[in-house]
Structure 1
């Protein structure tokens, strides 16, 4: 075999391993909310407790997403990618064999670290294995795989619950991850960044987790403890102190998790907050709808029916996204972001008027509005994040926005779950029928997300003017993947994807 043929063969192997693993990770992530009622029934753990299977995953992902990329640069991207796949397999087996909700949550926490590592190092391997036009094509396919996985996850999860029980998803994912490990071992060459300092910001990673964990614990338990109780306020105090320590540490380490100088960039800060809001609201929505649709007191859907019912929000977002770069080029990125969040706000406001008598058809219009709105806002916000910085800071900007997605998902889901559960409990205690109590809980949480989405409209004014993507096929793939990962666009300095995002 000639050297050129061998290089092409290895590049195809890298592409297959990274795209398949990305598709599986994103499908797994988006499917879990659909599985929660089945897991709750099987393990005897309340759904309110099992929300940690969602928030714990995102919390750890926020702490690890940037660090795992740094570990790959220093110790070898292939090695760390394989470690991520191994952790993913272990977590899947652990969850599938779990006899209690606590073990499911523990497995999901491990899975959060594994998923973030697979995404960060997989993209790095892909960009190193390809150059120029081939690199853009490969990253486009990677982005498309991420988008398809995220969109199909709830439906796949629903199908597997019906066919094999909720454990089936994790057994299948473990098997696919093992195949990716074999493919990676056979086709992927090791690579490092020889110019990068070997120091890793472990303290920053720990402080991100220490900032988010008590914050989410305080929000989650506030209904039981009270918002002004010593325990709740103590959690918030620890979170604030850890956040302050994080800022202090980042200003001193050689290679920080977060380059604080990036926070002086108004466009980057505005787009990152917009990304955080978008990720938070879509994850909160999927969590709430999965529970509401499957409850016997409301629509009483099966897991499969619930997965099908969420398709307007998941697939709709992906279908709209590829057309967005050209709209943003024509009308302006911040205008497109503002319109997108306005539509999302309207959708949540409509759901805020939900009544126990609503049939599924009543949810269709607001779900489509939310999907279209998020499709309009996600792509331009991600594009703005990488277009607003010099070429040597593109990786840092991508890392910040990717971390923001996990933070938004963790905090918004915890807040939505808390509001939902608290309102249901209060109405039930007052003697309201179960269906009315559930509708009131969904309405209250939807109003909260409508407020968040309206803040996204305000972020469009903060972002200001920036370079716009030209609307290439690569831009379309980046926009489709924007609700899961930030990819550079044609507006990014240097245009090529960076080695680590």
Structure 2
């Protein structure tokens, strides 16, 4: 991650790593598909509802990169300490804990689809508020506090309905494997999301901003960092939008 801006996107090392990843992914799929007791049972993904719930779970957890990028931005761009930056996320944890039960009630009332879409939509709005790095520092911090709180509310609404949609639509003898894959999607999503967000942020931080410079108000010595953060955060927003599309396409309106 830290060497991205030095190596460049088209360096032999980066291209080689992309190729190695693609080969490893293909090999993993072929080997696992041929095993009777595979580590990952790809047959589960023939169930479109399970696939959509798991994919949206992967993508929504991938948006965890929002936290890393935003906190790095306010430290580098606004001079906040680690402690001060961390305070911006207090609403995130509080909101998750407060709304998980709400997600359960919404599941009972509406089924899984509506709460999942509502949760993803609220999360998207929260991430969008964190994208507003062109604002003055004090304005951005207010937007960030609200954004993180909405992020937490969205995840709270989404969590239980998504789990229900995934696991209630697979045969009983496959629930254990399905639950493992679903949980693994959470961890992998967060890992990929943080890594890619950080790579985008780090890679663009050293690039000179030419075309969008005039959009940023306030200090001008940190425009590159603010621009890089905005692009990385927009990537996280894109993941939530793809999650919404996956839910819309695969999760039935009536459970």
Q: TM-score range by the shorter chain?
A: 0.7 to 0.9
Counterpart selection for 2:86 from 307, 315, 332: 307
Label 1:291 to 1:362 Cα distance change in 2 as closer, same or farther (>3 A): same
Matched, 1:411 2:158: no
The answer (yes or no) to whether the contact 2:8–2:203 under 8 Å persists in 1 is no
Match of residue 365 from structure 1: 146
Highest RCO, 1 vs 2 (Cα 8 Å, sep ≥ 6): 2
Shift of 1:369: 2.1
* CA offsets 1:166-200 (integer angstroms, 9 cap, x no match): xxxxxxxxxxxxxxxxxxxxxxxxxxxxxxxxxxx
The answer (yes or no) to whether the contact 1:340–1:376 under 8 Å persists in 2 is yes
**Where do 5+ consecutive residues of structure 1 fail to align?**
1-47, 50-219, 469-501
Label 1:467 to 1:356 Cα distance change in 2 as closer, same or farther (>3 A): closer
Matched, 1:285 2:66: yes
Write the distance in 2 (CA, Å) between the matches of 1:355 and 1:345.
18
Matched, 1:274 2:56: yes
* CA offsets 1:83-113 (integer angstroms, 9 cap, x no match): xxxxxxxxxxxxxxxxxxxxxxxxxxxxxxx
Match of residue 85 from structure 1: none
Shift of 1:374: 1.9
Matched, 1:451 2:238: yes
The TM-score with structure 1 as length reference comes to 0.46
Matched, 1:337 2:116: yes
Write the distance in 1 (CA, Å) between the matches of 2:148 and 2:208.
26
Counterpart selection for 1:460 from 226, 242, 247: 247
Write the distance in 1 (CA, Å) between the matches of 2:85 and 2:133.
17
Label 1:466 to 1:346 Cα distance change in 2 as closer, same or farther (>3 A): closer
The answer (yes or no) to whether the contact 1:336–1:376 under 8 Å persists in 2 is yes
Structure 1 residues 18-417: aligned runs within 5 Å: 49=2, 221=4, 223-282=5-64, 284-295=65-76, 297-298=77-78, 300-355=79-134, 357-359=136-138, 360-417=141-198
Write the distance in 1 (CA, Å) between the matches of 2:131 and 2:80.
21
Write the distance in 2 (CA, Å) between the matches of 1:292 and 1:251.
43
Using the TM superposition, name which of 441-450 and 364-373 deviates more. 364-373
Match of residue 216 from structure 2: none
Write the distance in 2 (CA, Å) between the matches of 1:253 and 1:449.
35
Computing the radius of gyration from Cα coordinates, the structure with the larger value is: 1
Shift of 1:274: 0.8
Match of residue 437 from structure 1: 224
Write the distance in 1 (CA, Å) between the matches of 2:7 and 2:222.
26
Shift of 1:429: 9.9
Shift of 1:303: 2.6
Structure 1 residues 418-433: aligned runs within 5 Å: 418-427=199-208, 433=220
Write the distance in 2 (CA, Å) between the matches of 1:357 and 1:320.
31
Match of residue 491 from structure 1: none
* CA offsets 1:107-159 (integer angstroms, 9 cap, x no match): xxxxxxxxxxxxxxxxxxxxxxxxxxxxxxxxxxxxxxxxxxxxxxxxxxxxx
Shift of 1:249: 1.2
Shift of 1:454: 0.6
**Where do 5+ consecutive residues of structure 2 fail to align?**
214-218
* CA offsets 1:282-325 (integer angstroms, 9 cap, x no match): 2x022113322333x41x33333223221112221221111111
Write the distance in 2 (CA, Å) between the matches of 1:412 and 1:439.
19
Using the TM superposition, name which of 266-275 and 403-412 deviates more. 403-412
What is the number of residues matched between the two proteins? Answer: 247
Shift of 1:368: 2.1
